[in-house]
Structure 1
Amino acid sequence: MTKVVIAEKPSVAKNIADALKIKGRNNGYFEGNGYIITWAFGHLLQLLDAKDYDEKMAKWRMENFPFIPHRFRYKVKSDPRNRGKEDSGARKQLKIIYSLIKRHDVDMIISACDFDREGQIIGDTIIYNLKTQKQVYRLLLNEWTPDEVLKGLQNIKPNTEMRPLQAAGISRQWADWVIGINLTSVATLKYQKGSGKALNIGRVLLPTLKIIYDRDKEIENFVPEDYFKLVATFKTKDDIEYEGTYVENEKEKFKSKETLKLIQQALINQTATILDKKVERKKEYPPYLFNLSNLQGFITSKYKGWTSDKVLKVAQSLYEKKYITYPRTASVVLEESLVDKVAKVLNNLKKGLPYENEITFAKKKRVFNNSKVESHSAIIPTYLLPKSLTRDEEIIYHAIKNRFIMQFMPIAEHEETKIMTKVNNDKIKGLFTSKGKVQLVEGWKKVEKIESKDTILPLVNIDEVVNIIDHKLTSHVTKPPKHHTEKTLLRVMETCGKGKDKEDENSEEMMAAILSGYSIGTPATRAEIIKKLKDVGYMASQNKNLICTELGRKLVETFPVKELFDLEFTGRLEKTLSDIEKQKFTKENFLNLIFDFTTKSVNTIKNDKDIIINEVTKEKKSIKVLGKCPLCGHEIIEGQKGFGCSNWKNGCKFVIWKNDKFLASMKKKPTKTMVKMLLKNGVTTVKGLTSKKGNKFDANLRYEKNPDNEYFSWKMEFIKEVVQKVNK
């Protein structure tokens, strides 16, 4: 008999087929060796829109809300370009999947979608929508390497064991639909003038906006204060100089300049004595392995132009290419069962490194700890070494690889010295403190060449007399808090504000907050939330800083359902979803809470005072025609996402996407000039294309229709007349 395996994406299906050495490729699936491997494109099904349940919901009217369906149902997902139509690709793939499941020789279905809430419901909605009686199993993997795929297929679980995960996924999906549909609709009707776009209200969107708003307000209301410091320079008997800062009652910042002036005058013609000296040898452990939020924070703060969303997309690409483990994880340690596998990976990665002989595998509690793993282990490389990576993939892969190698390098050690110097004048009550540091063992810091900025103090003894050779009184101003960046925002979201002032991502408090389940969103959704806040106009980026827009401010100050801005409220909801996974709470009770909350919230908005916080004005855009469509002869115009045919509503498929993958692989985007030339001459010359090896070259490009379908492919003619056809 034959088993049908449903992967979440075509690239994953290919990984499974490769592991099983299946060469036979058909329309929408691979087949061979007793397996059929097919795929979804993420969600093929979506929840019905409100108007699908009831015609009167086609127009937003205040009296029609709250609207909560008695039974939630699914349909083929909408075409992204025309929400009123089904996505034809999704419909076609669903038919293929269902025809495969119904085959008489098929006796088992295996869902191989990602091992998380979202992956669970992607597979389950497809399979159970068919109401099949065949046995359903689950393939649960953290990576797509051949070894893991083959091992995983030997250890599949009955899908019934995944019901708690499914319940949590459905609870999240239905709750967000109910809150989003109801509150977005009534808020738009109440607070917005004009139509064309909505005031987005979401369970996770608003508390994230409030974090940014609160920080902006803190900065706005900050009142700077002057303070002063007194620093003296001392010279030892060996003529070595060092500096000390005046401290009195453990305070080194003084509001009164006059107080320090008197002390400064008392220093003239005085000597000082070393009152105390402390030398401590301290260990510095490497930062923990990456979870998704820490990886996003690390990359967005280190590299210009990176967003959390981009980090996730590149990490997902590396995961699907089998080079790293599952990226959407909250854990910073590994399951103890991975010890042997990790030793193998480390052995592969360390070969040829300049510090290879310092890398030693050991089963450390700081790396392997079941009690601190939440669903998925931390992100690490797999045993497969990449042969070629894009520049972006290289940045992410090397960050993950380096963080992994650091765990098995010697612990870094430094010596900390603290000298207390007392001026030999009874009028001066305080002391001058000096702190210094010397790196003794570089250890894991070698991996990323982390250099310590050490202040080295002279070798002195207690009771030794030193000379005062200089002193300066400096004025300072207290600084306001810094604007949030994606790194700091992710940290607050991840811990729901608990431990938010801790800069140290290695702290136990931070880990406990993450593992408690209190959070805003999940590792998989936080990047999307940040991106959406920018897209809907509530938040903007200024360099790396995130700031609240005028519309975002007005929304926070006007919207009356204050619970949706409350981190504690949102954290409790996310914790409840986590508890549903752990069978500590039921889906039914959670949804009843959500439905009651939504009903009360709608009534609160209806009864709120009338105020307009956003006015939508429609700008008439002058549409520039770029040429004639090669398929139907209608006009080609520029849209938001591509250059396409104005006859698309009637089914014309001609389009050149602005994020075209073929051009992007050569570091180019289509331009109006390029499209005009293509339509006019059938060919365009493009200069400055980049090869996989990073070399620049020029080429002529054609965009020609495929003979067997309505889609187009690029043909590239090198200036040296070498011709290569590359299918889109």
Structure 2
Amino acid sequence: MKLIIAEKPSVSKNIADALKIKGRQDGYFEGNGYIVTWAFGHLLQLYDAKDYDDKMSTWKMENFPFIPQVFKYKVKSNPRDREKPDTGAKKQLKIIQSLMRRPDVDGIISACDYDREGQVIGDSIIYNLKTDKTVYRLLLNEWTPAEVMNGLENIKLNTELRPLQDAGVSRQWADWVIGINLTSVATLKYQKGKGKALNIGRVLLPTLKIIYDRDKEIEKFVPENYYKLQATFKTKDEQEYEGTYIEGKEEKFKSKETLEEIQQKLIDKPGIVSDKQVQKKKEYPPFLFNLSNLQGYITNKYKGWTSDKVLKVAQSLYEKKFITYPRTASVALEESLVGKTAKVLETLTEDLPYKDEVKFVKSKRIFDNSKVESHSAIVPTYLKPKKLSTDEEQVYQAIKNRFIMQFMPVAEYEETRIETKITGADLKGLFISKGKVQLVEGWKKVEKVQSKDTILPLVQVNDDVDLVKHEITTHVTKPPKQHTERTLLRVMETCGKNYDGEGTDEESLNAILSGFSIGTPATRAETIKKLKDVGYITTQNKNLLCTDLGRKLIETFPIKDLFNLEFTGRLEKSLNDIEKRSFTKDEFLQLIFDFTTKAVETIKNEKEITINEVASQRKPNEIIGKCPVCGHAVIEGQKGFGCSNWKNGCKFVIWKNDKFLATMKKKPTKTMVKALLKNGIAPVKGLTSKKGNKFDANLRYEKNADNEYFSWKMEFDK
């Protein structure tokens, strides 16, 4: 009997289904020679500092640096009360321990995700519970039944994954040491008043610096005018085309006078076509998605998405067996997946209107071991989803479409470049006209990508043309754009190497695959979310901006290495090198401990400056919306949501114990009131009828015609 430990209940169910196990017990499945149990992600967490030593219960400058001799684990804390262990985690650990000790269990298989984090989750449970039984590792990229069965036939000894475990605990312990020490010392030194700590992290600060630097670039940017000279020419058969004046390679001129002098020379002068070049060009589809590119694509295309949400939705699709492992840095597939990929493609394209154009090819652009690090790119599995939520549908379709594009014809277009010289004018430059015509739509059909055609008239070299008109146009240089999650992820992924592209050039691919980055595909979204949560950055539409607190931290905090992309990139690369056995856990941790000790001493010796002053004043009431009677702000009080203008006689209020809603076992919520004030109508779910049945309805809160009070109106969707 083998005991399989999965990372989550949903994954253990996938494994049990593949093994055709029907028997479910409390905390595990059993049957057909296997027991399948699960964790809830991390069941264990590292000790807090005060667990090692009581003196660490209160933060005192003299207690730091604090680096444990041995790192220990405990049951993860209850999220509502960090002083107590999580009861669910405690219970599940006991179940796993009793299963591991069963005499009929002769081997344990860790089936946690095949990455650093998954390795640590499985190993921390198995080795902290202690066992003398052989431990194996199930390494899978997807949870389809066929893949689970294939994986179980090819399990490895867990000892072979020791470098992955070393990299995982190195990352975990390093972040604990830097976080605990520098967060504590920075808060003691630079914060006045009690409140949230000043968060200091190995990945957090360089990410903040990227946004800060872009904000500064925009602030310092001085717009400049530049000018262009545009001309319109007419051919013998009365067709017109436009051209832009160019000298050398320059078409933007700082001096308007220069172009005005050229304009004078154009008066009453004809033109001649001095050169014409026509080239057929190919457009290849964008590469398969890795996690960062998927997050960038979705957050850029749809409103309301964050990279954190994209990861959660992709994880859900992975656990439901519809896509392969999402936390990957690769944009290609392993060459061993050729046969499987062909079958997936056949299954996914059988109903497409353009299926005749889909052709499986074994291309180096798609299948290339040298461009795969640990996990292949994200692609769909052979299982077709029958029903998905709107969010899941958007992410799944993006992955599916990107996959199908690889096997569609390459798009082709014709590019025409015409050079027109002015006859009889002493000019250094000439006019350039460019045209583009799409010849083959190819992969663009998949997402109906529109190509803009610019059609030029049919002319030949030495054709005479008339100069119909010319004008000088004024333009202004534009500042760099604020970072969005898409552009920020790109910088994090490559530590700034050519982040404006799609990540397909060799230099940035090599940076990604060597691990020279800020964070990992799995942690970047979490980092961006944390920067927002701790108040270092804020969002404006899709743009990310530094807050005053974030700016002060960067300009004051003395440990400049933590803001440095190169420094952080080297640390991340060292973790990657531990996985590849070219660097050791001990060397890495010594580096971190020395850095932390030195950093703490530096902060202690710095002059007293306040980065953050936490005010202890009462929070102002949140404005819920605009009063429909007098236009003043509606705010939440103890007993209801009412107009702030009540002292002057406005009677608008929605009571929290509203009798009409109470008959349907509902109370008004902030969300409901916001919707009513903004849209005049609020969709409400889970109302209870007199018979006790649940139903949904749209509610309006409308002023009575004969008095100044309001009444509820109920509507139903057709």
**What is the TM-score of this pair, normalised by structure 1?**
0.87
1:717 lines up with 2:716 in the alignment: no
The Cα shift of 1:701 comes to 4.4
The answer (yes or no) to whether the contact 1:114–1:140 under 8 Å persists in 2 is: yes
Deviation at 1:595, TM superposition (A): 0.1
Q: CA deviation at 1:540?
A: 0.5
Q: Secondary structure at the match of 2:437?
A: strand
1:499-518 matches, cutoff 5 A: 499-500=498-499, 502-518=500-516
CA contact (8 A) 1:113 1:119 kept: yes
Residue in 2 aligned with 1:342? 341
Query: Which of residues 555, 563, 577 is equivalent to 1:557?
Result: 555
Is contact 1:685-1:701 (8 Å) kept?
no
Which amino acid is 1:717 matched to?
A: K
Question: Deviations along 1:226-279, whole A, 9 cap, x unmatched?
Answer: 110000000111111110000012100001000100111211111011111111
Match of 2:589 among 588, 591, 594: 591
Distance verdict in 2 for CA 1:547–1:685, change over 3 Å:
closer
- Match of 2:561, SS state, is helix
> Any conservation in 2 of the 1:195–1:616 contact (CA below 8 Å)?
yes
Distance 1:622 1:277 in 2: 68
Cα separation, 2, equivalents of 1:113 and 1:204:
24
Would you say the 8 A contact 2:292–2:521 is kept in 1?
A: yes
Corresponding residue for 2:356? 357
**Offset of 1:405 from its aligned partner?**
0.2
Pairwise CA distance, 1:503: 2.3
| Structure-2 residue corresponding to 1:668 | none
Q: Which amino acid aligns with 2:152?
A: L
Taking only aligned residues, the RMSD between alpha carbons, in angstroms, comes to 2.2
Distance change in 2, residues 1:341/1:136 (3 Å): same
The one-letter amino acid paired with 1:616 is V
| 1:407-462 deviation digits (Å, cap 9, x = unpaired) | 00000011111111100133222110011111011000000000111211111111
Distance 2:620 2:198 in 1: 26
- In structure 2, do the counterparts of structure 1 residues 465 and 492 end up closer, same or farther at CA, with 3 Å as the change threshold? same
Contact 2:29 2:35 in 1 (8 A): yes
Q: What is the SS of the residue equivalent to 1:106?
A: coil
Pick closer, same or farther for the CA change 1:140–1:329 going to 2, 3 Å.
same
Secondary structure in 1 matching 2:94: helix
For 1:457, the equivalent position in structure 2 comes to 456
In the alignment, the residues of structure 2 paired with residue 623 and residue 461 of structure 1 have an alpha-carbon distance, to the nearest angstrom, of 73
Matches within 5 A, 1:238-277: 238-277=237-276
Q: CA deviation at 1:181?
A: 0.2
1:678 and 1:312 map into 2 onto residues whose CA distance is 41
Query: How far does the alpha carbon of each residue in 1:635-672 deviate from its partner, in whole angstroms, 9 at most, with x for none?
Result: xxx9xxxxxxxxxxxxxxxxxxxxxxxxxxxxxxxxx9
Deviation, structure 1 residue 20: 0.7
Shift of 1:675: 9.5
1:272-351 alignment, distance < 5 Å: 272-351=271-350
Q: Deviations over 1:512-554 (max 9, x none)?
A: 2211211000000000000000000000000010000000000
Change (3 A) 1:155 1:716: farther
Q: Counterpart of 1:684 in 2: which secondary structure?
A: coil
**Distance in 2 between residues matched to 1:587 and 1:512, nearest whole Å:** 23
Contact 2:553-2:611 at 8 Å conserved across structures: yes
SS at match of 1:410: coil
Asked if 2 retains the 8 angstrom alpha-carbon contact of 1:685 and 1:700, the reply is no
Give 1:507 deviation, angstroms.
Answer: 2.6
Question: Matched residues in 2 for 1:218 and 1:121: separation?
Answer: 41
Is 1:470 aligned to 2:475, yes or no? no
SS at match of 2:45: strand
CA 585–698 in structure 1, closer or farther in 2 if over 3 Å, else same: closer
CA distance in structure 2 between the aligned counterparts of 1:505 and 1:621, rounded to whole angstroms: 45
Partners of 2:36 and 2:113 lie apart in 1 by 15
Q: What amino acid is aligned across from residue 595 of structure 1 in structure 2?
A: F
Change (3 A) 1:89 1:680: farther
One-letter amino acid matched to 2:64: F
**2-side partners of 1:297 and 1:370: how far apart?**
24
Cα contact 2:271–2:422 (8 A) shared by 1: yes
Q: Which residues of 2 match residues 66-465 of structure 1 at below 5 A?
A: 66-465=65-464
| Structure 2 residue matching 1:168: 3-state secondary structure | helix
Q: What residue in structure 2 maps to residue 684 of structure 1? A: 666
Aligned to 1:27: 26
Which is further off, 43-52 or 417-426?
417-426
State the distance in 2 between where 1:499 and 1:57 align. Answer: 44
Partner of 1:9: 8
- The answer on whether the counterparts of 1:289 and 1:378 sit within 8 Å (CA) in structure 2 is yes
Inter-CA distance 487–682: structure 2 relative to 1 (3 Å threshold): same
- Hey, what's the Cα distance between the residues in 2 that align with 1:171 and 1:337? 31
Match of 2:527 in 1: 529
Matched residue of 1:367: which SS?
Answer: coil
Q: Distance in 2 between matches of 1:173 and 1:295?
A: 26
Q: How does 1:548-627 map to 2 (within 5 A)?
A: 548-620=546-618
Cα deviation digits, residues 143-189 of structure 1 (max 9, x gap): 00000011111111000000000000000000000000000000000
Is the contact between residue 231 and residue 244 of structure 1 (CA under 8 Å) also seen in structure 2?
yes
Confirm or deny: 8 A CA contact 1:517 1:575 kept in the other structure: yes
Deviations 1:538-578 (A, max 9, x none): 00000010000000000000000000000000000000000
Residues 1:349 and 1:621: Cα distance change in structure 2 (over 3 Å): same
The code of the aligned residue for 1:153 comes to L
SS, match of residue 483 in structure 2:
coil
Change (3 A) 1:560 1:677: farther
Letter paired with 1:594: I
Matched residue SS, 1:555: helix
Alpha-carbon distance in 2 for matches of 1:719, 1:434: 60
List structure 1 runs of 4+ shifted beyond 6 angstroms.
Answer: 621-624, 672-682, 685-689
Deviations 1:697-728 (CA, angstroms, capped at 9, x unpaired): 965349xxxxxxxxxxxx853489xxxxxxxx
**What is the CA–CA distance in structure 2 between the aligned matches of 1:69 and 1:673, rounded to whole Å?**
55
Contact 2:209 2:563 in 1 (8 A): yes
Letter in 2 for 1:683: K
One-letter amino acid of the structure 2 residue matched with residue 252 of structure 1: E
Cα displacement (A) at 1:617: 2.0
- Aligned-residue sequence identity (percent) comes to 71
- CA shift, 1:480, in A, is 0.5
The residue that corresponds to 1:700 in the other structure is 687
Instruction: Give TM-score, length-normalised by structure 2.
Output: 0.88
How far residue 506 of structure 1 moved from its aligned partner, in angstroms, is: 2.9
2:481 is aligned to: 482
Deviations 1:32-80 (A, max 9, x none): 1111111000000000000000100000000000000000000000111
Residues of 2 paired with 1:36 and 1:286: CA distance? 45
Report the count of equivalent residues. 654
Q: What's the CA shift for 1:510? A: 2.6
Q: 1:266 to 1:292 in 2, by over 3 A?
A: same
**Aligned-pair CA distance for 1:618:** 2.9
My pick for the range that moved more, 256-265 or 420-429, is 420-429
Does the aligned pair in 1 maintain the 2:266–2:425 contact within 8 Å? no
Per the alignment, in what secondary structure is the counterpart of residue 251 of structure 1? coil
Q: Is the 8 A contact 2:206 2:568 kept in 1?
A: yes
Could you tell me which amino acid in structure 2 is paired with residue 374 of structure 1? Answer: E
Gap regions ≥5 residues in structure 2:
623-635, 637-653, 673-682, 698-718
Find the aligned partners of 1:617 and 1:29 in 2 and give their Cα distance. 50
